[in-house]
């Protein structure tokens, strides 16, 4: 069974994109290998994103904020799909992605900007995780070998 590489992009690569990486990589279909990166990566993964990724069974050694430049290098994994998950990253000039992957923007509010109790923050992260999971579920039900950018952009959580 072919596996498809999907790169989730966000500005700091500490929350939403990390959740996308973990969700794709642990998806029960086994069809996806998730990656994440940011245009201006932070110094660490948000603790609430890390907590959720670990609950999914994602390998803690892979949890780090990284630059999208890593995936534009010649020896980087070839991406089949690239999804921006924050409005800032969607508006930035991205590197050239070899292989012309299908691209889309699945925007989510930044859960790390939520103020309040840890419960409030956890709730915000859970909302993003649920939204991403619904879209990834829909994605894996589509004919991935012929999916183009237009159809990838049309995937909306129901």
Which among 31, 56, 76, 94 is annotated as catalytic? Answer: 94
Number of residues written out for the chain: 158
Report whether 88 contacts 107 (CB < 8 A).
no
At residue 92, does pLDDT exceed 80? no
Nearest-10 Cα torsion for 77, 67, 133, 111: 180
pLDDT on residue 83: 94
List of E strands, the chain = 4-10, 32-38, 81-84, 102-105
Q: Which residues contact 129 (CB under 8 A, 6 or more apart)?
A: 19, 23, 52
Which among 82, 86, 129, 152 is annotated as catalytic? Answer: 86
113: domain CATH number is 3.40.50.2300
In a domain, residue 20? The reply is yes
Radius of gyration of the chain (CA): 14
Q: Which residues contact 67 (CB under 8 A, 6 or more apart)?
A: 13, 37, 38, 39, 41
Catalytic annotation present for 86: yes
Across 45-66, average pLDDT: 95
pTM for the whole thing? Answer: 0.92
At residue 90, does pLDDT exceed 60? no
Host domain of residue 39? 4-152
DSSP assignment string, 84-118: E-SHHHHTS-PPP-TT--EEEE-----GGG--S-H
At residue 149, does pLDDT exceed 80? no
In a domain, residue 158? The reply is no
In a domain, residue 157? The reply is no
User: What is the count of structural domains for the chain?
Assistant: 1
Catalytic annotation present for 10: yes
At residue 86, does pLDDT exceed 90? no
**Tens digit of pLDDT for each residue in 93-147?**
666 777 889 988 999 999 999 999 999 999 999 999 999 999 999 999 999 888 7
Which among 6, 9, 10, 155 is annotated as catalytic? Answer: 10
């Amino acid at each position: 069974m072919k596996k498809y590489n999907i790169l989730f992009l966000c500005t700091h690569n500490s929350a939403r994109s990390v959740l996308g990486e973990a969700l794709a990589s642990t998806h029960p279909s086994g069809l996806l290998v998730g990656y994440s990166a940011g245009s201006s990566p932070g110094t660490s993964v948000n603790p609430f994103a890390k907590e959720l990724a670990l609950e999914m069974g994602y390998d803690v050694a892979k949890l780090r904020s990284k630059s999208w430049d890593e995936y534009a290098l010649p020896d980087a994994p070839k991406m089949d799909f690239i999804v921006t998950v924050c409005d800032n990253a969607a508006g930035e000039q991205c590197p050239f992605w070899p292989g012309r992957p299908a691209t889309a923007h699945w925007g989510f509010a930044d859960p790390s900007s939520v103020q309040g109790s840890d419960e409030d923050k956890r709730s915000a992260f859970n909302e993003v995780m649920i939204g991403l999971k619904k879209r990834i579920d829909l994605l894996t039900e589509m004919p991935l070998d012929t999916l183009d950018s237009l159809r990838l952009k049309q995937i909306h959580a129901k």
